[in-house]
Chain A
Amino acid sequence: MESVLGRYRNLIILVGVLFLQVLGLAVQVKRTSENESSRLIRIWTVATVTPLEKSLVWIQSSTYGVWHNYLYLRGVRQENRDLKAEIERLRLEQVRLSQDAEQARRLQALLSFKEQYVAQTMAAQVIGSSGSEQSRSIYIDKGNRDGIKPDMAVITADGVVGKVLRVFHSTSLVLLIDDQSSGVGAILEKSRIQGVLRGTPGGEVILEKVMADNDVQPGETVLTSGGDGIFPKGMPVGKVTRVTQGAELFLNIRVKPAANLGQIEEVLVITKKEEREPNVAETGPVRAVDILAQRLPSVPDKPPTPDAAKADPAKPDTAKAGQSPVAGATATAAAAAGTAGGAGSAEVHPDKPVRSASDATALPEGNPAPVRPAPVQKNALATAQPSKPAVVPKTVPAGQKNPVTTLKVADKNPKPAANQTRPEPVTPQDNPQ
């Protein structure tokens, strides 16, 4: 017996070691929850490897930062000019979109529709990967001590990256959306067809569970549907690259991820989501026309002349506007901005004469004193901040002219009293001078 054991000692040890590993593997596979039995070895390995990765990433980013922030500044001025122009363009677009968003919120509020909002994010740096083709995951430099928890969504500015799978003390493992064990609830932007986004063994991303009778075109954008409870609805996931007939009744839809999953350096972890009904009044009625009006040149105030309105009968609008060229320009800007198409508000129409600045002033009932609007703020977008209070009209001495139009900005959380006393437009003729 001893001779047999001695002769096959190596083989017996091999079988024993393999048996133990198979047993351990079977236990892990059987458990559906987090494999606590294997957590210790993971902690040890991660604690050994990740400090080296963090150090190298820090050295790398520091060197890169010194070079690009202090030495290599070629083309920065031109880039700065381009970015400023882009900001100007985006500001105008933001106003247009805020109008659309407000309309959507009103409709959602009517339906008592609850929506998830990204309330808080945390930036993290990618420090490493799993190093395996079969496990597509990355390590980030934020962990338990930073408030990261499993199943938090991880995104970039381009789109969805994945979700937090395991959390360690100062690092976390993020499962990418191209891993075959991942799944993201997705919806096609135009056709509104829902499906499940999965990774393939080859590292591609496919949209599953879409019936073959649906019309899906390459190039269509894929968004998160919010159905998985991890990713908020409406985040970009990627674009459809190829649509073929798949097995059984489903389509085989290939998707190119919006985020470059192979070259991610920094990510955002969504640490807090809120689910609430949309607040209709959370954006103020800042109009594109108002922003354009501020950008146009203005003429300084002149002393009031009693016959001003009569002296120039050819310009009734200007006369009505209290001789304010900006108000006239507002009408032009309104037409130019295409406010009727959605960028403007319901208060200004290109085919409707723009009333004077005093139209927007409030005249308390029973108060014979004339009122004057507050001057336009220099930065109109600043008034779009929800935290800014409403601009309250001020009273002015009689005879003083109204220089420009008024921006009405609603408070983020309007009080009932404020809503009830919304100023009614009045004409100059209504003001007893």
Chain B
Amino acid sequence: MPITYTSGEQVEVYRFNLPITIGVPLVALFLQAFVPRHFHFFTIFDLPLLVTIFFAMARRNPVSGLLTGGIIGLLQDSLTSLPIGVYGIAKTVVGFGASSLGVKLDVENAGARLLVTIGFYVVHEIVYFLVARGMVGLTLEWSWPHELWSALANAVLGVVLFAVLDRFKQRT
């Protein structure tokens, strides 16, 4: 199994320059809003979530991770017709979890990234489901096959996306 336990001193912490930090989430939001107009199946993907997981795991700082996730989630909320905060809460939790996991585990290889993305996608959907149903009052249907299939699709896309975004990493 490629996931290995590492101490805090062993893991490498990366940082990103400002244009990448701001530009990549915005591009992800833009693509998430634009591509489904032409390819409806693209709604199965959650690019802002993948970007959140990537930045959180690379920075390995829980506070930075939860703030990144929270901001990206709130921006994603603001494009929908729903109240702002549903995606924000879900991605805050994911950002915190991914960065905390990144501190303890080496998630630099494709297999680890695949499994981690599947796990965090499911966590994201559960939190979203609970908040949307419990607070907003949306009538949502939970379907495990659909969620697992979506998680796998996002994980595969995530592996490719993370490999691309790795080029923008800068060692601290």
Binding between chains A and B: yes
Comparing B24-32, B112-120, B160-168, the segment that makes contact with chain A is B24-32
Q: Mark B130-151, 1 if CB is under 8 A from A, else 0.
A: 0110011111110000000000
Closest-CB distance, A142 to chain B (whole angstroms): 16
Interface residue? B11 (CB, 8 A): no
Q: Which of these, A134, A165, A262, contacts B140 with CB under 8 Å?
A: A134
Interface residue? B2 (CB, 8 A): no
In the bound complex, do residue A25 and residue B75 qualify as a contact, i.e. CB atoms below 8 Å apart? no
Q: Which residues of A contact B30 (CB under 8 A)?
A: 49, 52-53
Q: Using A10-B96, A25-B135, A28-B84 as known contacts, say yes or no to A131 and B78 having CB atoms under 8 A apart.
A: no
9 sampled A-B residue pairs with Cβ under 8 A:
A14-B62, A14-B66, A29-B137, A49-B29, A53-B34, A132-B76, A134-B80, A137-B80, A181-B138
Among residues of B, the one whose C-beta sits closest to the C-beta of A13 is: B63
Interface residue? A308 (CB, 8 A): no
Closest-CB distance, A156 to chain B (whole angstroms): 15
In the bound complex, do residue A134 and residue B132 qualify as a contact, i.e. CB atoms below 8 Å apart? yes
Which of B36, B81, B87 is most buried by chain A, counting CB atoms within 10 A of its CB? B81
Q: Which of these, B66, B84, B100, B137, contacts A24 with CB under 8 Å?
A: B84
In the bound complex, do residue B89 and residue A21 qualify as a contact, i.e. CB atoms below 8 Å apart? yes
Q: Using A49-B79, A138-B37 as known contacts, say yes or no to A133 and B141 having CB atoms under 8 A apart.
A: no
Q: How many residues of B contact A (CB 8 A)?
A: 46
In the bound complex, do residue B140 and residue A38 qualify as a contact, i.e. CB atoms below 8 Å apart? no
Q: Mark A129-143, 1 if CB is under 8 A from B, else 0.
A: 111111101110000
Q: Which of these, B36, B75, B92, B139, contacts A21 with CB under 8 Å?
A: B92
Q: Mark A101-143, 1 if CB is under 8 A from B, else 0.
A: 0000000000000000000000000111111111101110000
In the bound complex, do residue B75 and residue A29 qualify as a contact, i.e. CB atoms below 8 Å apart? no
In the bound complex, do residue B78 and residue A46 qualify as a contact, i.e. CB atoms below 8 Å apart? yes
Residues 118-174 of A at the B interface (beta carbon under 8 Å): 126-135, 137-139, 165-166, 173
Q: Which of these, A56, A131, A180, contacts B79 with CB under 8 Å?
A: A131
CA distance A173 to B78 in the complex (A): 11
Closest-CB distance, B9 to chain A (whole angstroms): 18
In the bound complex, do residue A126 and residue B78 qualify as a contact, i.e. CB atoms below 8 Å apart? no
Residues 67-105 of B at the A interface (beta carbon under 8 Å): 67, 70, 74-76, 78-89, 92-93, 96, 100
Residues 166-223 of A at the B interface (beta carbon under 8 Å): 166, 173, 175, 179-181, 200-202
Closest-CB distance, A234 to chain B (whole angstroms): 27
In the bound complex, do residue B36 and residue A131 qualify as a contact, i.e. CB atoms below 8 Å apart? yes
Which of A10, A129, A165, A181 is most buried by chain B, counting CB atoms within 10 A of its CB? A129
How many A-B contacts are there with CB distance less than 8 Å?
A: 141
CA distance A133 to B76 in the complex (A): 12
CA distance A131 to B39 in the complex (A): 11
Interface residue? B43 (CB, 8 A): yes
Interface residue? A272 (CB, 8 A): no
In the bound complex, do residue A128 and residue B141 qualify as a contact, i.e. CB atoms below 8 Å apart? no
Q: Please name 14 further chain A to chain B contacts, defined as beta carbons within 8 Å, in addition to the given A13-B63, A17-B66, sorted by A numbering.
A: A10-B62, A21-B85, A29-B135, A44-B78, A53-B33, A53-B34, A128-B33, A132-B80, A132-B87, A134-B80, A135-B80, A135-B82, A173-B81, A200-B139
Closest-CB distance, B59 to chain A (whole angstroms): 13
Q: Which of these, B35, B70, B132, B135, contacts A26 with CB under 8 Å?
A: B135
Q: Which residues of A contact B83 (CB under 8 A)?
A: 25, 28-29, 35, 38
CA distance A131 to B26 in the complex (A): 13
Among residues of A, the one whose C-beta sits closest to the C-beta of B87 is: A132
In the bound complex, do residue B75 and residue A45 qualify as a contact, i.e. CB atoms below 8 Å apart? yes
In the bound complex, do residue B81 and residue A129 qualify as a contact, i.e. CB atoms below 8 Å apart? no
CA distance A21 to B78 in the complex (A): 13
